[in-house]
């Protein structure tokens, strides 16, 4: 594909009303759509890589969606409605604070499950590490994530601890950053990119809207202070509350990576790892190989996905 004055390739940063804000090279273009027919059944999503035509009057319109990889979707709300939250996502970073506020582990688990269901990488950021006695140590309760195979980064937006490691994880990738309000998401981004100038509390905050939580994603070019942007951070307000519906129990249990080696050991093929006899997952919990707390989160999400929440 050749870019010239009339044909550009870019990435959709955000969508507001009918306007698509596309980053093409260094320029942010305000684009319209060339019409649904041309784009097929796909609706343009934030994160999409698109072809843009510049018309004679100088206006821009999207003419094509380029193939997607790594799509963050909404699960099971309705088969007919648009399920894509953001396209071309590499990873989901679940941010929690080691204290103040105390970590909401089920929220972290929910975010990691959303990542697993879509085949995206997950990582855990334990921020405000400056508030505990041993800032470098794996904070209480976060060991379950390391045991499950996730990278856990202890960070402090205040002291700068762990920011180099976080930067290395964000560089060159498209990362959804989500978590409870007040854990320091905006502060971390400001510490990494002083030019961004986010208001503290700005990332991820929009009101929870019950069942049909609106998740309007927006991409921010990511580049550490002084470096050219080479990745994107994705803000997805409401994602941390996004409920799961109609997710198959087997799929949900596979979304807990530490359960996987034990799933073949359940007596019943359709075991939901609740009260069933000879359940491989529960045996693993008793043997201390699987975290009881993660299993409780699994049970909560299972009930929710069955419509019981």
Q: Which residues bind ligand GDP (CB under 6 A)?
A: 127-128, 130-131, 156-158, 181-187, 200-201, 203
In this complex, which beta carbon is closest to Zn ion, that of residue 212 or of residue 265? 265
Residue 108 in contact with residue 179, Cβ under 8 Å? yes
State the Cα–Cα distance between residues 195 and 126, nearest whole angstrom: 24
State the Cα–Cα distance between residues 220 and 23, nearest whole angstrom: 10
Q: What are phi and psi of 216, to 5 degrees?
A: -95, 110
Report cis status (omega within 30 of 0) of the bond before 46: no
Q: Out of ligand GDP, Zn ion, none, which partner does residue 294 contact, by CB within 5 to 8 A per kind?
A: none
Q: Out of Zn ion, ligand GDP, none, which partner does residue 187 contact, by CB within 5 to 8 A per kind?
A: ligand GDP
Least Å from the CB of residue 244 to ligand GDP: 23
In this complex, which beta carbon is closest to ligand GDP, that of residue 35 or of residue 201? 201
Q: Which range of residues in 91-99, 145-153, 181-189, 264-272 is near Zn ion by CB under 5 A?
A: 264-272
Q: Is 96 in the site for Zn ion (CB under 5 A)?
A: no
State the Cα–Cα distance between residues 199 and 196, nearest whole angstrom: 9
In this complex, which beta carbon is closest to ligand GDP, that of residue 12 or of residue 95? 95
Enter the tokens of residue 280.
């491989």
Closest C-alpha to 126, from 149, 145, 111: 145
Enter the tokens of residue 15.
């969508």
Q: Is 279 in the site for Zn ion (CB under 5 A)?
A: yes
Question: From the list 72, 113, 217, 271, which residue makes contact with Zn ion (rule: CB under 5 A)?
Answer: 271
Q: Is 281 in the site for Zn ion (CB under 5 A)?
A: yes
């Amino acid at each position: 594909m050749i870019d010239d004055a009339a044909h550009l390739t870019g990435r959709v940063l955000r969508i507001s009303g009918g306007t698509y804000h596309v980053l093409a090279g260094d320029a942010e273009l305000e684009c319209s759509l060339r019409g649904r027919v041309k784009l097929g059944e796909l609706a343009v999503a934030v994160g999409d890589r698109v072809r843009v035509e510049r018309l004679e009057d100088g206006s821009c319109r999207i003419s094509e969606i380029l193939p997607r990889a790594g799509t963050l979707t909404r699960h099971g709300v309705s088969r007919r409605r648009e399920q894509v939250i953001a396209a071309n996502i590499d990873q989901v970073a679940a941010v929690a604070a080691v204290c103040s506020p105390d970590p909401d582990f089920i929220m972290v688990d929910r975010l990691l499950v959303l990542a697993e269901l879509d085949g995206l990488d997950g990582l855990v950021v334990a921020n405000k590490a400056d508030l505990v006695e041993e800032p470098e140590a794996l904070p209480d309760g976060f060991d379950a994530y390391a045991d499950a195979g996730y990278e856990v980064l202890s960070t402090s937006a205040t002291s700068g601890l762990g920011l180099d490691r976080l930067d290395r994880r964000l560089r060159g990738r498209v990362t959804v950053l989500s978590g409870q309000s007040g854990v320091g998401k905006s502060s971390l981004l400001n510490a990494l990119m002083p030019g961004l100038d986010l208001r503290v509390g700005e990332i991820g905050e929009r009101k929870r809207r019950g069942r049909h939580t609106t998740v309007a994603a927006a991409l921010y070019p990511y580049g550490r202070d002084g470096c050219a942007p080479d990745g994107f951070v994705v803000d997805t307000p409401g994602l941390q509350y996004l409920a799961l519906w109609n997710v198959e129990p087997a799929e949900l249990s596979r979304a807990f990576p530490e359960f996987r080696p034990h799933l073949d050991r359940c007596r019943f093929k359709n075991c939901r790892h609740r009260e069933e006899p000879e359940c491989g997952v529960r045996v693993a919990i008793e043997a201390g190989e699987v975290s009881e707390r993660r299993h409780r989160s699994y049970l909560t999400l299972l009930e929710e996905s069955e419509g019981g929440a």
